[in-house]
Chains A and B, each alone.
Chain A
């Protein structure tokens, strides 16, 4: 083929591709840059957990299930409570029977299916409860790995899932270091705590915050300097879970012990 033909073909090819490429409005670099640089969201939701106050009653888990229509008997939950028992001999036990949905009503620690460990009261060095929920991370790895854009972060920091778009691949579930995600038993899409988005956007508290009798859970706007939880987070000593992953979680813990997994 001669040079003229080659050039003609190239021009035709490029023009064809160009027209098609114009149809691709995936990324407009200027918009992209503008989005990243502007941080004009007025609110950023954050959560505060006080593990000294949590008694393991499980009212939060029950309320969450009912408020967010997660089938009550299904063995998945948007939030859960863990129990940690450390003995004087240095043995460590942890369990979360049904996620704490029915509270912790026995001293026997669940070690597997139908397996329990009895720990005598006098052997206990320390024991406590740790509620967990989605951390609505600032750098959410679950959002990063979604192949279709079904899960995303809203401008106010809450990570949501679009049930009409999720293909159910499970990559986000594998990508979460905290294990907060699961497949919804009915919708078969990825599911997780979303800070009761339908409640907080109406000025209500999340179901778990409202249900907790002991004030172990609180939610607030970390961008508001007058918010009670903002004051605590900024002035008192708080911890976060699994910091080494670089996810920048926005659930803060008072009394976070090194034993917490």
Chain B
């Protein structure tokens, strides 16, 4: 079996070498980078534009963005036929290719987020490293903690008011600089598809913009989701009177803080959701109106084969229903939770409909290819390019996020910036 043959079913006239080469991991990759970009933009809304109500979720979003950043290249590594040669992208990049931007953009973005986090948490690092430095007899655990936090200070122990003010300015600059970089990080993924003239569905100048808009939507939705979940955990623990761990906040205080943040963030989510939907519908309308050579086969895919996937799953369940849920007055936590889950599902379906949809028809415009996702793995390939591979990629950031919060705590950091 050649690569792609296992999960491709051909119908009518398809060229011999055509298979669905870009499978679920290529759907996961823009989905994950979208979450990265979206989380960062949310964080920057506070740091750059000073929207005070977003302060709590801003710190949260930045750390999550960092966790996501490490997982985002994983779907690519799993998809590459020669993953260990992936470094060639950084060694001999061919910049006429959109994919070549991956190495540089990711590194630049990683540098910005890491730097911003450093400024944000510098005082926290010093507050842990300093006493450990002075302590003479360190246990092994304390040695490990010391080495980690000492190196994280980058040798700077000055936490005076003056230096902290400089930190704030640096954060603002980095957050501002990071917004276009985050847009580029996801925009280039849209460009990867939009610039392929050989693919009739992908080819459109709108693709990078559509990707960025829906990326921001998904990032905001993810942060809202994780925020709600962690707040529920905190409330649960506060109720069991473990108040000492979490400072002095009671359940009621947590509740009211939470609902305000959610309502505020939901407004921004709606705004970007409207942008994303408008552009996608615009693309569809233009295609139907101009009816170029590919329209016959595209129409049969969009309105026929993939109708459920596009109009029911993506547009209705993933866009319209959350839209209504958000617009109804007096947004509750429960309704917001349902809405963000549906939004993230909608964004995932959008990536699916672009990547898989683009390969659903043959270059001959006279045949079709059906993708059936391998669910039960029976070898490495059906695992890494199948359902469980995609699931692992989706769940990994949550695990990594939990690990990272041991170094970058997201709640109750004293007198945070």
> Which residues of A are interface residues toward B (Cβ below 8 A)?
26, 74-77, 80, 92-96, 98-99, 111-113, 132, 141, 144-150, 165-171, 173-183, 185, 188-189, 244-246, 261
> In the complex the two chains form, what is the Cα distance from A96 to B100 in whole Å?
35
In the complex, how many angstroms separate the beta carbon of A118 from the nearest chain B beta carbon?
A: 16
In the complex, how many angstroms separate the beta carbon of A144 from the nearest chain B beta carbon?
A: 5
B93 A147 Cβ-Cβ under 8 A: yes
Q: Taking A111-B12, A165-B85 as given, write out 4 further A-B residue pairs in contact, using a Cβ cutoff of 8 Å, ordered by the A residue number.
A: A132-B15, A141-B198, A185-B3, A261-B366
A188-B82, A189-B81 known; A170 vs B21 contact (CB < 8 Å): yes
B82 A148 Cβ-Cβ under 8 A: no
In the complex, how many angstroms separate the beta carbon of B169 from the nearest chain A beta carbon?
A: 11
B3 A188 Cβ-Cβ under 8 A: yes
A94-B366, A173-B21, A175-B198 known; A112 vs B88 contact (CB < 8 Å): no
B13 at interface, CB cutoff 8 A: yes
A245 CB contacts on chain B under 8 angstroms: 197-198
> Which residues of B are interface residues toward A (Cβ below 8 A)?
2-5, 9-13, 15-19, 21-22, 76, 79-83, 85-86, 88-89, 91-94, 96-100, 102, 192, 195-199, 293, 362-366
> In the complex the two chains form, what is the Cα distance from A72 to B9 in whole Å?
21
B80 A169 Cβ-Cβ under 8 A: yes
A145 B80 Cβ-Cβ under 8 A: no
A145 B15 Cβ-Cβ under 8 A: no
B88 A183 Cβ-Cβ under 8 A: no
B18 CB contacts on chain A under 8 angstroms: 179
A141-B198, A145-B96, A176-B198 known; A165 vs B3 contact (CB < 8 Å): no
**Number of contacts between A and B (CB, 8 Å)?**
139
A173 CB contacts on chain B under 8 angstroms: 17, 21
> In the complex the two chains form, what is the Cα distance from A143 to B382 in whole Å?
29
A75-B16, A166-B85, A261-B365 known; A148 vs B21 contact (CB < 8 Å): no
B86 CB contacts on chain A under 8 angstroms: 167
B13 CB contacts on chain A under 8 angstroms: 93-96, 261
Query: Most A CB atoms within 10 A — which of B83, B92, B362?
Result: B92
A171 B3 Cβ-Cβ under 8 A: no
> In the complex the two chains form, what is the Cα distance from A157 to B202 in whole Å?
28
B11 A185 Cβ-Cβ under 8 A: no
A174 B17 Cβ-Cβ under 8 A: no
A179 B82 Cβ-Cβ under 8 A: no
For this complex, 17 residue pairs linking A to B, each with C-beta atoms less than 8 Å apart, are: A75-B2, A144-B96, A144-B97, A145-B99, A146-B94, A147-B100, A168-B81, A168-B82, A169-B80, A169-B81, A170-B21, A177-B363, A179-B18, A185-B2, A189-B81, A245-B198, A261-B363
